[in-house]
C-alpha cells in the first residue's frame, strides 16, 4: 500500500512534501516496504532518473529527485527536484549551506542551557554499522557537524523531558540524533540511539519533526515551507 502523502509546495521544478513518520525515503536494498520513492515514481513518473542513484551490495538503487533525506521515523518537510537542472541547483544550495532547516524534538532529561551550539564532528560507531558517533571512539572519516538548539519548554514530570527547536547547520546522517545523544539528552523514542531511555506516554514514534525549510527556487525567489506539528507530538507537548 502506498502511503498518503501531502504536497506542501510545487512549481515546475521543485516539489516539497510532508513525509509521515515510519516510511523510508528510498529503498535500502533489504526491505520490501513501500518508500517515498515508490510514491514519487507512481505520481511523478518523469522524475525517474533525476538525481544520483545509490549503490547497495552491487545493485543500483534509483533515488528520483532526492536531494536530501529524512530518517525513516522522522516526519516533516522533504524537498525533491523534478528535473536535473533543479537537482543540481538545490544540491549546490545544500552544499553551500544556504538552505535553512528547522526541526522540533522532544529529548530526555532537562537541557540546562536555554540555547547552545554543538560543534562536534561525526564518524561511524565502532560497534554498530547502523549508528554514527560524535566524540571519542568515532571511527573512519570524521565529518564536521554543527547543530544549534533552543529550549521551547521543559516538562516538570516525574521523568524530565525538554522540547527543543533545532537548526542543523550541516547535514550529516542522523546528525540531530547523534548530537543529542552526545549531550546525554537523546531524542525520545529513539530505538537506535537510546533504546533504554524512558518513553513518553502516548508517543510511539521518534519525537523528531522537520518543521520548516527555506530555499531559493530556480527564479531566485526565497521559498519557506512549513509542516504542521504531528498531532501525537503536539498532544504530548500540550
pLDDT string in tens for the chain (238-residue length): 777 899 999 999 999 999 999 999 887 666 778 899 999 999 999 999 898 877 766 677 778 899 998 999 999 999 999 999 999 999 999 999 999 999 999 999 999 999 999 999 999 999 888 899 998 889 999 999 999 999 999 998 888 999 999 999 998 989 999 999 999 999 999 999 998 888 888 888 999 999 999 999 999 999 999 999 999 999 988 8
Contacts of 169 (CB under 8 A, 6+ apart): 97, 146, 147, 148
Q: What CA–CA distance (Å, rounded) separates 227 from 19?
A: 9
DSSP category for residue 187 = B
Q: pTM of the predicted model, to two decimals?
A: 0.92
Burial of residue 81, with CB atoms counted within 10 A of its CB: 0-12 exposed, 13-18 middle, 19 or more buried: buried
172: closest CA among 226, 198, 133, 211?
133
Q: What CA–CA distance (Å, rounded) separates 190 from 196?
A: 9
- Work out the number of other CB atoms within 10 angstroms of the CB of residue 153: 12
Active-site position among 18, 71, 73, 190: 71
Q: What CA–CA distance (Å, rounded) separates 98 from 115?
A: 22
Domains plus CATH for the chain? 6-237 (3.30.2350.10)
Contacts of 36 (CB under 8 A, 6+ apart): 5, 17, 19, 23, 24, 25, 26, 66, 78
Tally the residues of the chain.
238
Angle of CA points 167, 169, 172, to nearest 5°? 105
Catalytic status, residue 73: no
Give the position of cell 544520483: 52
Amino acid at each position: 500500500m502506498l502511503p498518503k502523502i501531502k504536497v506542501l509546495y510545487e512549481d515546475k521544478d521543485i516539489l516539497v512534501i510532508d513525509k509521515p513518520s515510519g516510511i523510508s525515503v528510498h529503498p535500502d536494498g533489504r526491505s520490501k516496504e513501500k518508500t517515498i520513492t515508490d510514491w514519487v515514481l507512481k505520481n511523478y513518473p518523469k522524475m525517474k532518473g533525476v538525481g544520483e542513484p545509490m549503490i547497495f551490495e552491487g545493485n543500483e538503487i534509483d533515488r528520483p529527485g532526492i536531494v536530501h533525506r529524512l530518517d525513516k521515523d522522522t516526519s516533516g518537510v522533504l524537498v525533491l527536484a523534478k528535473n536535473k537542472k533543479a537537482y543540481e541547483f538545490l544540491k549546490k544550495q545544500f552544499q553551500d549551506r544556504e538552505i535553512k532547516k528547522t526541526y522540533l524534538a522532544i529529548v530526555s532529561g532537562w537541557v540546562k542551557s536555554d540555547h547552545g551550539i554543538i560543534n562536534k564532528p561525526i564518524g561511524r560507531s565502532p560497534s554498530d554499522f547502523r549508528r554514527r558517533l560524535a566524540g571519542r571512539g568515532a571511527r573512519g572519516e570524521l565529518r564536521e557537524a554543527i547543530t544549534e538548539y533552543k529550549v521551547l519548554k521543559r516538562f516538570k514530570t516525574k521523568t524530565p523531558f525538554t522540547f527543543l527547536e533545532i537548526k542543523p547547520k550541516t547535514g550529516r546522517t542522523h546528525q540531530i540524533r547523534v548530537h543529542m545523544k552526545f549531550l546525554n539528552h537523546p531524542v525520545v523514542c529513539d530505538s537506535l540511539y537510546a533504546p533504554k531511555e524512558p518513553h513518553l506516554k502516548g508517543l510511539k514514534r521518534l519525537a523528531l519533526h522537520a518543521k520548516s525549510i527555506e530555499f531559493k527556487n530556480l527564479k531566485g525567489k526565497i521559498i519557506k515551507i512549513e509542516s504542521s506539528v504531528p498531532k501525537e507530538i503536539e498532544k504530548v507537548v500540550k
